[in-house]
Amino acid sequence: MTENLQEHYAAVATSHPERMDAFWMPFSANRQFKKHPRLLASASGMFYRTVDGREILDGTGGLWCVNAGHGRARITAAVSQQIHTMDFAPTFQMGHPLPFLLAERLAEIAPDPLKHVFFTNSGSESVDTALKIALAYHRVRGEGQRTRFIGREKGYHGVGFGGISVGGLPNNRKFFGPLLPGVDHMRHTLDIGRNAFSKGLPEHGAELADDLERIALLHDPSTIAAVIVEPISGSAGVVLPPKGYLDRLRALCTKHGILLIFDEVITGFGRVGNAFAAQRYNVVPDLITCAKGLTNGAVPMGAVFASNTIHDTFMNGPEGAIELFHGYTYSGHPLACAAALATLDVYAEENLFNKAIELGPYWEEKIHALRDLPNVIDIRNFGLIGAIELASRPGAVGARAYDVFTKCFHEKDLLIRVTGDVIALSPPLILEKSHIDRIFSTLVEVIRETS
């Protein structure tokens, strides 16, 4: 098959559509997709290439993860060299040099005092790991009654049972039973009525952080282990924190002895400027979860950053005892570590963590130029992330944005992402002003054509 890979792609897409049936696709309308598939065959820089040879401008960074652009030779070479050197090594009571080196590199770019790294394989695993660390931390320090978690409406924290429990997207929760007990949710911060068409962080809504105070008093603050929020809620349609909101949340967590977890699976590694949103917003949590941009999407990998205080609390028992009974077979996998180390080199050498700050104003200008288009009810942006929210058709939520998505892909050679009736954008950080111009000129045309 490898000798005729392009022919195989074409066969799957055209002459043999039944060959698509075995793959149960995630987060997809399988029957709809397989009738009209959109298949990508290769990628380089800012572009994908389809199985029929069309070049597609990537407006979504793959799936929020290809921050350094596609087909980076340095990452490819690092992974290739590593698989020829050592394909796998365990990290349970054993080790190899790469995760130690990678953790050291990551600690250098993480906000103080989050200087310890636990490796996972995805954002979902990072979230469940952070929740378990929070529970275990309180137990080790003698406050084992702290078992509650507080999430937020519209939050997305992956698809593990912990993540969907603290998450606040109804479709991700409703099919899977009662989920974890002892979880409550703060209100979300999307307020189109007061904040529509805000440029950057919205002015109104910092007081919504006081929901934590209300919930804490309802349950007794001493029973709450952690609060988890995304600095920017991506899967909900790019929901931004109002000015001062995260600061107030940090102050309330400190007041009540509650750990604050930032889920930076989307915002990490330059998406909003700086390595992490915690640094851009100057609000430091106790734990940070990440994945996606950690390896530029090349090899699955995630991580949890823990503060010195949390880590050191576990290191006080007998020296021969396992401090945390948690981990994954592939934690610190050699190929993932090699990909991540090469990715960090690319970020540093090309100064990509600063790209969202440099291009942010131009991005903001261009996205807000769409505000007067038909059916546009809100535009949101920060760094190199953006959302255009469309009014929903009566009785058909999501249909209008889906039509924009398919027309962009099939007719205009642009890949965007939609969630409900929100068009979400998160292009690779290597983009130039010409790519921004093309993204938004295309959207202007397609939105105008979409009733």
Does residue 331 lie within any of the structural domains? yes
Give pLDDT, residue 318.
93
Token pair in block for residue 109? 């770019």
Q: Residue 408: is its pLDDT beyond 50? A: yes
Q: Rounded to 5 degrees, what angle do the CA atoms 172, 177, 179 make?
A: 75
Domain boundary among 349, 373, 403: 349
Domain boundary among 290, 317, 349: 349
* Cβ atoms 128, 160 nearer than 8 A: yes
Q: Residue 324: is its pLDDT beyond 90? A: yes
Residues 256 and 168 in one domain: yes
Average pLDDT, the chain: 96
Phi first, then psi: what are they for 304, rounded to 5°? -125, 125
Give pLDDT, residue 334.
98
* Cβ atoms 75, 293 nearer than 8 A: no
Residues 125 and 252 in one domain: yes
Residues 80 and 204 in one domain: yes
Does residue 207 lie within any of the structural domains? yes
Does residue 46 lie within any of the structural domains? yes
Contacts of 75 by beta carbon, 8 Å cutoff, 6+ apart: 68, 295, 296, 298, 339, 342, 343, 346
Number of domains in the chain: 2
Does residue 19 lie within any of the structural domains? no
Residues 359 and 429 in one domain: yes
Can you tell me the mean pLDDT for 279-300?
Answer: 98
Residues 254 and 230 in one domain: yes
Can you tell me the mean pLDDT for 61-75?
Answer: 98
- Axis crossing angle, helix 355-368 with helix 433-449, rounded to the nearest 10: 30
* Cβ atoms 231, 241 nearer than 8 A: yes
Q: Are strands 414-415 and 55-58 parallel, antiparallel or unpaired?
A: parallel
Q: Which helix (H) or strand (E) holds 358?
A: helix 355-368
Expressed as residue numbers, the domain containing 403 is: 38-68+352-449
Round to whole Å and give the CA distance between 351 and 331.
Answer: 28
Can you tell me the mean pLDDT for 174-183?
Answer: 95
Q: Residue 427: is its pLDDT beyond 70? A: yes
Does residue 252 lie within any of the structural domains? yes
Domain boundary among 349, 380, 412: 349
Residues 161 and 106 in one domain: yes
Burial of 139 (0-12, 13-18, 19+ CB in 10 A): middle
Round to whole Å and give the CA distance between 170 and 327.
Answer: 29
CATH number at residue 196: 3.40.640.10
Band of residue 19 on the pLDDT scale cut at 50, 70, 90: confident
Locus of tokens 């949890």 = 304
Band of residue 187 on the pLDDT scale cut at 50, 70, 90: very high
Q: Residue 225: is its pLDDT beyond 90? A: yes
Residues 173 and 252 in one domain: yes
Give pLDDT, residue 1.
44
Can you tell me the mean pLDDT for 284-299?
Answer: 98
Can you tell me the mean pLDDT for 288-292?
Answer: 98
Does residue 15 lie within any of the structural domains? no
* Cβ atoms 119, 98 nearer than 8 A: no
Does residue 223 lie within any of the structural domains? yes
Does residue 220 lie within any of the structural domains? yes
Residues 345 and 365 in one domain: no
Residues 401 and 291 in one domain: no
Residues 107 and 197 in one domain: yes
> 436 in helix, strand or coil?
helix
CATH number at residue 382: 3.90.1150.10
Band of residue 70 on the pLDDT scale cut at 50, 70, 90: very high
Contacts of 365 by beta carbon, 8 Å cutoff, 6+ apart: none
Contacts of 412 by beta carbon, 8 Å cutoff, 6+ apart: 442, 445, 446
Residues 313 and 363 in one domain: no
Residues 121 and 62 in one domain: no
